[in-house]
């Protein structure tokens, strides 16, 4: 069998923040793909605003570099488990993976998650130990940890013979030994060429091309990105797309794009082993196979991870609706959700009995909150219900998603963390004391027990703890209440502006969420109560003026710092009877029933 020695296809996989996007930057830079005078942003592959701000990769991206005479197609994959659907599909496009591991942190939950996906596909791995310049780097121990992980995940003998390259992506150095660091990426490139198999050259056989990623372009519509698995494809060719239900549709390839650096370039034809983008068909979907009309032969279907979390998106109907956003109608919100489905294959949008509400299901809190954050930046206003885990029936048994949780904390906080995760029905799997005052704990916890846990965890460990979790499996539902908020809330009694006097009168009752001068409405949540019950409060109360001079008049009124919540924290904080109101300028929490008397009636009715 002939091989295409001029092509290599490799995915870069790693846990969040282990430096894979920075490493791709350096590979692009040192391969000479850019001109001398061309300006390239840091983390060039993270093109979205949110990706740049949070320093995470959300969508898998592909690029290609020329090294000597070989084209190396590099796919930068997300490290976060919420975007695991992307990682799994990417594995179908490549022949090898570069596993990037932080030389101090070692293997993390998502390292395990992404590596498991690669090993299942029998893909050839190489290991890049990054951040070797860190003063507390421990390369030899981390290599042992990686080897243990490979064995634990059932790697075969060939996969266990992985080569290791040591690098500092930030400094642009690499070498085959930890101490031997030079300002070049050559050791990584040569390791890729020597160890990653070249694709088979089957250009004389009938075409097979599988769509792995979707893109959308206003000019050409949907764009299917994938690998030419067999044969060749050219512009103008009449082909058929084989659908999941067995049906097929024919179309003409109107445009064909190859990749070089960060650009897409129009090409005339592509051969087996090439990664390309094709346009010309309106409803092309992930997993579908493109073949010649006279030889329809489908490739195995790509399995896409099922959603594990859902929440209701509603049209904003609060007293402040329409004040801050541009797009507020149900038609606009529905159009935007449908547009998201064009490219996000892990998302589901289901209509409800109400025309103003949709059930949106995704892979996790981060997956859904990034969609919401994008919508609010684009000018949308909406309301959201408390996130719920999706219960599945497997062999007649109700099952819920369970996650593997890894916690790194200073020794003095281990007792508190074990107690709080135990209360959330967590089962401890492992505990390792690193001997430097840091302890690593591993648990198995139901996903619903983790909703809202990160805020509690941060205050419990004074911000010193690191929490990582990744989906493990569906297991029978654990009976009883798991997790959830224990404290009640302070709810505004009437519309108006929060006053300093009103806030000061409430500080003994709990934590306040709004600053003086903030517009509030009746039924809006303005703070957290110290006790378990909700309390309706008058936060707009002004001090009565009298002609009696106060003895403390010269004392300046000072109020405690209010608690401001991010979007994720607000969603995690919600209870069953509450909504989160999201607009381009504000994030507010509110009761579903705004009127105090009606709310109390509903609560009595529920407790009967």
- CB-CB contact of 258 with 268 (8 Å): no
d(CA 313, CA 333): 9
Q: Is the dihedral of CA 507, 511, 516, 519 positive or negative?
A: negative
Helix, strand, coil share of the chain (percent; to 5): 25, 35, 45
Structure-token pair, residue 291: 């073949």
In the numeric block, the tokens 């030079």 are attached to: 182
- CB-CB contact of 525 with 490 (8 Å): yes
How many other β-carbons are positioned within 10 Å of the β-carbon of residue 538? 14
d(CA 132, CA 165): 10
d(CA 403, CA 394): 18
Q: For 490, which DSSP code?
A: E
Binding residues for GTP: 17-22, 130-133
For 16, 24, 85, 434, the CA distances from 79, given in Å and listed in that order, are 5, 14, 11, 25
CB-based contacts of 203, cutoff 8 Å, min separation 6: 231, 232, 271, 272
d(CA 210, CA 230): 10
Q: Is the dihedral of CA 544, 548, 551, 555 positive or negative?
A: positive
CB-based contacts of 336, cutoff 8 Å, min separation 6: 327, 375, 378, 380
Structure-token pair, residue 246: 């067995």
Strands of 521-577, DSSP E: 525-529, 535-537
Binding residues: 17-22, 130-133
- The string of DSSP codes covering 372-430 is HHHHHHTTB-EEEPPPEEPPEEETTEEEEEEEEEEEEEEGGGHHHHHHHHHHTT-EEEE
How many other β-carbons are positioned within 10 Å of the β-carbon of residue 502? 24
Specify which residues 67 forms β-bridges with: 70
């Amino acid at each position: 069998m002939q091989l295409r020695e001029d092509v290599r296809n490799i995915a870069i996989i790693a846990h969040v923040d282990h430096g894979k996007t920075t490493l791709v930057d350096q590979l692009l830079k040192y391969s000479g793909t850019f001109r001398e005078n061309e300006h390239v942003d840091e983390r060039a592959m993270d093109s979205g605003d949110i990706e740049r701000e949070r320093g995470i990769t959300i969508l898998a991206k592909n690029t290609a570099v020329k090294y000597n005479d070989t084209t190396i197609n590099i796919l930068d994959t997300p490290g976060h488990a919420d975007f695991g659907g992307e990682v799994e599909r990417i594995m179908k496009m490549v022949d090898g993976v570069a596993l990037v591991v932080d030389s101090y942190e070692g293997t993390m939950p998502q390292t395990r998650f992404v590596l498991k996906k690669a090993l299942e596909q029998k893909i050839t791995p190489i290991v890049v130990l990054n951040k070797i310049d860190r003063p507390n780097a421990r390369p030899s121990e981390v290599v042992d940890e990686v080897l243990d992980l490979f064995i634990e995940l059932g790697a075969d003998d060939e996969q266990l013979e992985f080569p290791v390259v040591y690098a500092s992506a930030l400094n642009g150095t690499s070498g085959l030994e930890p101490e031997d660091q030079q300002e070049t990426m050559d050791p990584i490139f040569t390791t890729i060429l020597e160890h990653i198999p070249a694709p088979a050259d089957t250009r004389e056989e009938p075409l097979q091309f599988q769509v792995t990623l979707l893109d959308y372009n206003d000019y050409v519509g949907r764009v299917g990105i994938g690998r030419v698995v067999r044969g060749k494809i050219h512009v103008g060719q009449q082909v058929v797309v084989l659908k999941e239900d067995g049906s097929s549709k024919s179309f003409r390839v109107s445009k064909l794009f190859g990749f070089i650096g960060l650009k897409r370039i129009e090409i005339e034809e592509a051969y087996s082993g090439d990664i390309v983008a094709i346009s010309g068909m309106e409803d092309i979907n992930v997993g579908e196979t493109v073949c010649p009309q006279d030889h329809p032969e489908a490739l195995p279907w790509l399995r896409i991870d099922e959603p594990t979390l859902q929440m209701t998106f509603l049209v904003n109907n609060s007293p402040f609706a329409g004040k801050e956003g541009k797009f507020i109608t149900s038609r606009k919100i529905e159009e935007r959700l449908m547009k998201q489905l064009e490219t996000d294959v892990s998302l589901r949008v289901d209509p409800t009995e109400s025309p103003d509400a949709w059930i949106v299901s995704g892979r996790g809190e981060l997956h859904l909150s990034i969609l919401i954050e994008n919508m609010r930046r684009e000018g949308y206003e909406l309301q959201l219900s408390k996130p719920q885990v999706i219960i599945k029936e497997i062999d007649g048994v109700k099952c819920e998603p369970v996650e593997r949780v890894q916690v790194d904390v200073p020794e003095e906080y281990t007792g508190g963390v074990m107690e709080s995760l135990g209360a959330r029905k967590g089962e401890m799997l492992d505990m390792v004391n690193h001997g430097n005052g840091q302890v690593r704990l591993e648990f198995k916890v139901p996903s619903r027990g983790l909703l809202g846990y990160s805020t509690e965890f941060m205050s419990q460990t004074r911000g010193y703890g690191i929490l990582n979790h990744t989906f493990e499996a569906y297991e029978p539902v654990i009976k009883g209440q798991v997790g959830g908020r224990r404290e009640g809330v302070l709810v505004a009694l009437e519309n108006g502006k929060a006053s300093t006097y009103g806030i000061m009168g409430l500080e003994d009752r709990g934590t306040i969420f709004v600053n003086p001068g903030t517009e509030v409405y009746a039924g809006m949540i303005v703070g957290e109560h110290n006790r378990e019950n909700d309390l309706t409060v008058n936060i707009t109360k002004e001090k009565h003026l009298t002609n009696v001079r106060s003895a403390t008049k010269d004392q300046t009124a000072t109020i405690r710092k209010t608690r401001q919540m991010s979007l994720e924290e607000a969603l995690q904080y919600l209870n069953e009877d509450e909504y989160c109101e999201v607009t381009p300028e504000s994030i507010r929490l509110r009761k579903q029933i705004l009127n105090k008397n009606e709310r109390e009636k509903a609560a009595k009715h529920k407790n009967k």
